[in-house]
Chains A and B, each alone.
Chain A
């Protein structure tokens, strides 16, 4: 069964450094998303991406964040200058094949900013 994959599974970085989180969505899906979950808190929406552009972004998704689909398979989230409060689990999701509403989540990248 096809699944969303994410790399790396864990990332430790120093405050102020840039990180790139990578995702390979399910191949025939049309919509791509990033969510994050701070430890002990809700899953929060960051950004949605469709037809090679951002469809919607949350207040969290400020100028330090960017997304890209550099080729036909990868979907990346870049944080330019990480802050301590960016420490969280970051989930990529994809959906929208055949008009389906369901979003399928990848295993996540645990980001720790020191």
Chain B
């Protein structure tokens, strides 16, 4: 059974701080990794994708991938109250039609 594990939280950080979200996955064949943000009652919204080991930065967001440790993380710098949401880690195998396997998500609360 291919699994994606995330700490459910809530992760509470003050406004302006760095939020660090972590994810581990069980399938070593996984090739593509995604972070989605989901507000309550809404659909997953893509934040970042990462395919190679190392860091990838996009604005206030940095995704980190370590395939040897089967670990993906997302850092959010200068956290804002509007970042308060559930962050979903999703993992995909090779091939365009392969399904996304989602973690249960980490709920982030950014307080003023």
Name the contact of A50 in the complex, choosing from B51, B96, B103, B104 (C-beta under 8 A).
B96
Does B42 sit at the interface, judged by CB under 8 A?
A: yes
Interface string of A74-114 (1 = CB under 8 A from B): 00000000000000010101011001011111111000000
- Smallest CB-CB separation from B45: which chain A residue? A105
Contact B101 A101 (CB under 8 A): no
Contact A101 B51 (CB under 8 A): yes
- Smallest CB-CB separation from B34: which chain A residue? A102
Contact B44 A105 (CB under 8 A): yes
Interface residues on A, range: 20 to 34
Interface string of B17-51 (1 = CB under 8 A from A): 00000000000000110101000001111100101
- Smallest CB-CB separation from A50: which chain B residue? B97
Contact A102 B97 (CB under 8 A): no
**Cβ distance B91 to chain A, nearest Cβ, rounded Å:** 11
Chain B hits for A42, CB < 8 A: 102-105
Interface hub of A31, A45, A99, A103 (most chain B Cβ within 10 A): A103
Does B88 sit at the interface, judged by CB under 8 A?
A: yes
Chain B hits for A58, CB < 8 A: 99
Contact B96 A95 (CB under 8 A): yes
Measured between alpha carbons, how far is A49 from B86 in the docked complex, in Å? 28
Does B98 sit at the interface, judged by CB under 8 A?
A: yes
**Cβ distance A50 to chain B, nearest Cβ, rounded Å:** 5
- Smallest CB-CB separation from B102: which chain A residue? A43
Name the contact of B43 in the complex, choosing from A45, A91, A101 (C-beta under 8 A).
A91
Contact A107 B43 (CB under 8 A): yes
Does A18 sit at the interface, judged by CB under 8 A?
A: no
Name the contact of B49 in the complex, choosing from A30, A41, A102 (C-beta under 8 A).
A102
**Cβ distance B89 to chain A, nearest Cβ, rounded Å:** 11
Contact A56 B49 (CB under 8 A): no
Does B67 sit at the interface, judged by CB under 8 A?
A: no
Measured between alpha carbons, how far is A49 from B97 in the docked complex, in Å? 7
Binding site for A on B (CB under 8 A): 31-32, 34, 36, 42-46, 49, 51, 88, 90, 92, 96-105
